[in-house]
Structure 1
Amino acid sequence: MSGPVVWREPVQDAWIDYNGHLSEPFYVLVFGHATDAVMDEVGLGPEYREANDASLYTVEAHVRYLDEVSAGSELEVRSSVIGATHKLLWIWHELWVDGRLRATEEVLGVHVAGRSSAPFPEDVADRVRAACVDAPEEAGGRIRPLPPAPVEEGSGGLEL
């Protein structure tokens, strides 16, 4: 794998919400399709899954919604492996539309064989190691609590 794995698909009309933009669950759906493309690239595709009763299970994900996506847009997700252990795979996705970054997702997946976590087979581990690139600065972020805001008398509560 040299460079990011690229996944493309158009926004479906059914994915548009009441505000006229891509609804949040469909960002995750598209990022899931991009994860499948990465899995194919490192040797965890459909044939592997069927032959080995093994796959990658998502154990954690973090999405950042950076800009709106309109109906009729062509989505491009650029995905990179940014970390791995003997059974974990850390993927960074960037969703682009018209040359602008609209969302990111980082996904931590665990390799599962049967019903238990298991080390990657050596050939998959070799491809994962070869695919690994440095994590972007934005990776590893978390949602931080907002600092308390002063409540003005009579305001009835906190304003964001």
Structure 2
Amino acid sequence: MQLHEVDVGRIPSDHIDGNGHLSVRFIVEIAAHGAHEVLVACGLTDERRTRTHQGVFTVEHHLAYLGEMGTDSDLAVYVRVLDRSSRAVVLLAFIVDRTQRRVTTVLRTVVVSVDLDTRGSIPFAPEIAHEIDIVVRRHESLAWSPPFPRWGTLSGSRRRRWRRRILGE
């Protein structure tokens, strides 16, 4: 709750899937929108993209589901900027069930600065890099470390057991 709330609201009934909880497609949309809003606040606006032909592409999303949310849930999205290189930024978006006061989903996103004409990566413009750095420093000063759910792939014997159980191999 020490982070700025990016998005807030009740979950519409049409966002609930057949299992009775918030659909994964809306989870990704909601969390990615939160990350987008933080980048807009750092200067990556539609106007700037049109003027400079520079923008960002998301190159990675990793989700960790920690709990369910239903139509009775009031959600909020909080975003923490973890790090920045000359061309990329790493963000965590936390979807929080404010009714139950718990994090239900964490989305780790890696976003790369791009030239929209060549479609190649480029360094962030100095003014954008400066704004992102301000947010990184502010977030580094928080009294808590970000959680890092295991984002890795299944490997070795765990992978073999998974393939036998799920795929029947």
Given the two structures, how large is their TM-score scaled by the length of structure 2?
0.79
Corresponding residue to 1:116 among 117, 120, 124: 120
Following TM superposition, by how much is the alpha carbon of 1:10 offset from its aligned partner in structure 2, in angstroms?
3.0
| 1:85-116 deviation per Cα after TM superposition (whole angstroms, max 9, x unaligned) | 11101001111012111000100010112222
Q: Which runs of 5+ in 1 are unaligned?
A: 150-156
Partner of 2:154: 144
Pick which of 17-26 and 138-147 moved more: 138-147
Task: Return the structure number with greater helix share.
Answer: 2
What amino acid is aligned across from residue 128 of structure 2 in structure 1?
V
What amino acid is aligned across from residue 57 of structure 2 in structure 1?
Y
Following TM superposition, by how much is the alpha carbon of 1:72 offset from its aligned partner in structure 2, in angstroms?
4.1
Partner of 1:102: 104
CA RMSD in angstroms comes to: 2.2
Change in CA separation of 1:116 and 1:17 when aligned onto 2, cut-off 3 Å? same
What amino acid is aligned across from residue 23 of structure 2 in structure 1?
S
Identity %: 24
CA distance in 2, matches of 1:100, 1:122: 37
Conserved in 2, the CA contact under 8 Å of 1:12 and 1:72?
no
Pick which of 117-126 and 46-55 moved more: 46-55
Pick which of 132-141 and 43-52 moved more: 132-141
Following TM superposition, by how much is the alpha carbon of 1:140 offset from its aligned partner in structure 2, in angstroms?
6.8
Matches within 5 A, 1:50-129: 50-97=50-97, 98=99, 99-114=101-116, 115-129=119-133
SS in 1 for 2:63: strand
Pick which of 134-143 and 120-129 moved more: 134-143
Change in CA separation of 1:72 and 1:49 when aligned onto 2, cut-off 3 Å? farther
CA distance in 2, matches of 1:5, 1:119: 28
Conserved in 2, the CA contact under 8 Å of 1:36 and 1:45?
no
Q: Which runs of 5+ in 2 are unaligned?
A: none
What amino acid is aligned across from residue 123 of structure 1 in structure 2?
E
SS in 1 for 2:18: coil
CA distance in 1, matches of 2:54, 2:16: 34
Change in CA separation of 1:5 and 1:42 when aligned onto 2, cut-off 3 Å? farther
SS in 2 for 1:38: helix
Change in CA separation of 1:4 and 1:127 when aligned onto 2, cut-off 3 Å? same
Change in CA separation of 1:111 and 1:147 when aligned onto 2, cut-off 3 Å? closer
